[in-house]
């Protein structure tokens, strides 16, 4: 089978690895180093927007960062792997009896590739998006330097020394604060809420991806129908078996999929709301975080899935080329009119018997 030249594939892989490494490095610099210093914002004396009590360090939150990060990284990986494997197994299962006369065409070595490749591709893009969201959020936080609702509780400004007689007096400058500088630095990073963005990104990625798969299913549906017609005539037993697998999939997903999607989205939204309830973020931060997460997920899935389809079409072309070399196989696929007639007639008689 003519494949792409190995050098090209490996260089593409190398290129992608470099991009990925760069993204991870940038995220690392944002998270763990102080290469990018935060923009220092001022505040009004006794500003009630910043006078909420300090809720304690992040680890004492109802959704601690460890839990959030492990869920955001673990759940989609699990769902994607399980989903792809299930789809793959179902394909194998239906393959067995469906293409009994066409076994020449389907070399068994080619089946392991799609599963691994699809999984790696989806997971790779997902991870990339996760780091990209992190970078977006961190960059936003550093550039805006918006203050957290509990800022004044940490900053403990000396109002008398600052001369804060009027409420409208604006205080700028870092030296106004007397509290712990580390905590103050963290309280200056709120504007897009990181927790909200990451959780919504993870939930949204899974939700849209399922929708895309479903849409793919619909377009494939027509082919399926045609095959079902032929199955009817070839053997009643095999068609029944096919229907069972079909109905299990179709019926089982009517409510199962929305439950999964809505449950994930609900958890993501609750994560965002919890940030506000614990005075760690303002409303605007959480909403901005939701927007960042949603837009990155939509962008990645829509653009990149389109890319995938293009690639698959390319694959088809490759296979068509290979088929052009052995045209004998393509002939049986052209449905002869006579076959149609017999199938329809058979069909009708079968149903006349049933009723």
Residue 9 lies near another protein (rule: CB under 8 A): no
Q: Is 156 left (phi over 0), alpha (psi -120 to 50) or beta?
A: left
CA distances from 225 to 67, 219, 231 (A): 45, 11, 10
Shortest reach from residue 344's CB to another protein, in Å: 5
From CA 163, how far away is CA 263, in angstroms rounded?
Answer: 51
By the rule CB under 8 A, 351 interacts with another protein: yes
Residues 114-153 that bind another protein (CB under 8 A): 114
Min separation Cβ 266 and another protein, Å: 6
100 belongs to the binding site for another protein (CB under 8 A): no
For residue 44, report the phi and psi dihedrals to the nearest 5 degrees.
-85, 150
Q: Looking at beta carbons only, is 112 or 143 nearer to another protein?
A: 112
Name residues contacting another protein, limited to 49-88 (CB under 8 A).
51-53, 87-88
Which range of residues in 6-14, 180-188, 198-206, 327-335 is near another protein by CB under 8 A?
A: 327-335
Please tell me the distance from the alpha carbon of residue 48 to that of residue 161, in angstroms, as a whole number: 20
Cβ atoms of 203 and 298 within 8 Å: the answer is: no
Distance CA 279, CA 50 (A): 9
Is 102 a residue that touches another protein (CB under 8 A)?
yes
Q: How far is the CB of 245 from another protein (least distance, A)?
A: 8
Min separation Cβ 35 and another protein, Å: 35
Answer whether 184's CB lies under 8 Å from 145's CB: no
| Total of chain residues touching another protein, rule CB under 8 A | 82
| Binder among 41, 252, 307, 314 for another protein (CB under 8 A) | 252
Contacts of another protein in 167-226 (CB under 8 A): 211, 213-214, 216-225
| Residue selected from 61, 119, 127, 229 as contacting another protein according to rule CB under 8 A | 229
> Rounded to an integer, what distance in angstroms lies between the CA atom of residue 243 and that of residue 97?
13
**In this chain, which of 234, 257, 291, 295 binds another protein, going by CB under 8 A?**
257
Site for another protein contains 316 (CB under 8 A): yes
The answer to whether the beta carbons of residues 133 and 296 sit under 8 Å apart is yes
Q: Which one of the spans 17-25, 66-74, 125-133, 313-321 is the region binding another protein (CB under 8 A)?
A: 313-321
Using CB under 8 A, which of 18, 25, 143, 256 touches another protein? 256
| Beta carbon of residue 14, minimum distance to another protein (angstroms, whole number) | 26
The binding track of 264-303 with respect to another protein, each residue x by CB under 8 A or -, is --x--xx--xx-xx-----x--------------------
User: Minimum distance between the CB of residue 258 and another protein, rounded to whole angstroms?
Assistant: 5
In sequence order, which residues have a C-beta less than 8 Å from that of residue 192 and are 6 or more positions away? Answer: 136, 137, 140, 141, 285, 288, 289, 292
- Looking at the Cβ atoms of 20 and 213, the one nearer to another protein is 213
Per CB under 8 A, which region of 64-72, 100-108, 128-136, 185-193 contacts another protein?
100-108
- Is the CA virtual torsion 170, 172, 178, 179 positive or negative? positive
Choices 15-23, 30-38, 176-184, 246-254; region in contact with another protein by CB under 8 A: 246-254
Q: Is 47 left (phi over 0), alpha (psi -120 to 50) or beta?
A: beta
Helix (H) or strand (E) holding 206: helix 194-234
Comparing CA positions, the residue from 127, 171, 148, 109 lying closest to residue 21 is 127
Q: Which span (11-19, 20-28, 295-303, 326-334) binds another protein, by CB under 8 A?
A: 326-334
Taking CB under 8 A as the rule, does residue 306 contact another protein? Answer: no
Give the other-Cβ count within 10 Å of 311's Cβ. 12
CA 233, CA 344: separation in Å to the nearest integer?
9
Q: Look up residue 93 and give its two tokens.
A: 């299962």
> Strand runs (DSSP E) across the chain, as ranges?
43-44, 170-171
Tell the smallest beta-carbon distance from residue 176 to another protein (Å).
Answer: 19
């Amino acid at each position: 089978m003519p494949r792409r030249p190995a050098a090209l594939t490996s260089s593409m892989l190398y290129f992608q690895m470099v991009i990925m490494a760069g993204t991870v490095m940038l995220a690392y610099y944002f998270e763990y180093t102080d290469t990018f210093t935060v923009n220092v914002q001022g505040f009004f004396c006794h500003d009630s927007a910043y006078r909420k009590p300090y809720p304690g360090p992040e680890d004492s939150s109802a959704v601690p960062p460890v839990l959030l990060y492990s869920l955001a990284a673990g759940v989609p990986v699990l769902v994607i792997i399980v989903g792809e494997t299930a789809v793959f197994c179902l394909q194998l299962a239906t393959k067995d009896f469906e293409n009994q006369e066409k076994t020449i065409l389907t070399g068994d070595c080619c089946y392991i590739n799609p599963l691994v490749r699809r999984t790696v591709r989806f997971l790779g893009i997902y991870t990339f998006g996760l780091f990209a969201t992190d970078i977006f959020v961190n960059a936003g936080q550093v550039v805006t330097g918006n203050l957290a609702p509990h800022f004044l509780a940490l900053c403990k400004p000396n109002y008398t020394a600052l001369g804060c007689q009027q409420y409208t007096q604006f205080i700028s400058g870092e030296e106004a604060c007397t509290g712990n500088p580390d905590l103050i630095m963290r309280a200056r990073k709120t504007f897009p809420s990181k927790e909200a963005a990451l959780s919504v990104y993870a939930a949204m990625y899974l939700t849209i991806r399922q929708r895309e798969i479903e849409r793919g299913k619909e377009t494939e549906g027509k082919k399926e129908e045609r095959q079902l017609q032929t199955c009817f005539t070839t053997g009643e037993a095999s068609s029944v078996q096919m229907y069972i697998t079909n109905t299990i999939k179709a019926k089982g997903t009517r409510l199962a999929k929305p439950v999964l999607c809505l449950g994930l989205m609900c958890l993501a939204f609750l994560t965002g709301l919890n940030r506000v309830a614990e005075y760690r973020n303002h409303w605007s931060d959480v909403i901005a975080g939701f927007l960042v997460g949603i837009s990155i997920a939509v962008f990645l899935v829509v653009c990149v899935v389109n890319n995938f389809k293009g690639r698959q079409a390319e694959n088809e072309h490759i296979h068509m080329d290979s088929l052009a070399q052995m045209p004998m196989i393509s002939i049986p696929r052209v449905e002869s009119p006579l076959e149609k007639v017999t199938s329809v007639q058979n069909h009708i008689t079968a149903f006349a018997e049933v009723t």
